[in-house]
Amino acid sequence: MMSRAQKSITTRFLDFAEPAGGTTAVTLTCSRCNKQVTGWTSAEGSAGFYYVNTGYFVKFRRGDEVAICDPCMWADSGYKQEFTPSQHYAQEKN
């Protein structure tokens, strides 16, 4: 499960921009903001959203959420703590 999560992170942008073979387009509703999200799933993981009902990202789940869109996940304080991408985010965190 750990390797699946790591692959999901590293391949997210590549898969989203140019889906490779075996990638499936998915439209779902974000459990947090209720907006429709179009993303991709593949054997490598998901892109454009995060499944939080199974696998690594369960740790960021609130209540009975199933899937979270990128903007919601990036706004999650726990996620930011773990995946701080830049000094800019670190400075915003308080």
Residues that bind Zn ion (CB under 5 A): 30, 32-33, 69, 72
Name the residue nearer to Zn ion (CB basis): 3 or 53.
53
Residue 13 token pair: 């942008």
Name the residue nearer to Zn ion (CB basis): 9 or 33.
33
Contacts for 36-42: CB closer than 8 Å, 24+ residues apart: 37/67, 37/69, 37/70, 40/15, 40/16, 42/15
> Nearest approach, Cβ of 81 to Zn ion (angstroms)?
19
Name the residue nearer to Zn ion (CB basis): 18 or 54.
54
> Nearest approach, Cβ of 37 to Zn ion (angstroms)?
7
> Nearest approach, Cβ of 87 to Zn ion (angstroms)?
25
Number of neighbours of residue 94 by Cβ within 10 angstroms: 4
**Phi, psi angle pair for 41, to nearest 5°:** -125, 150
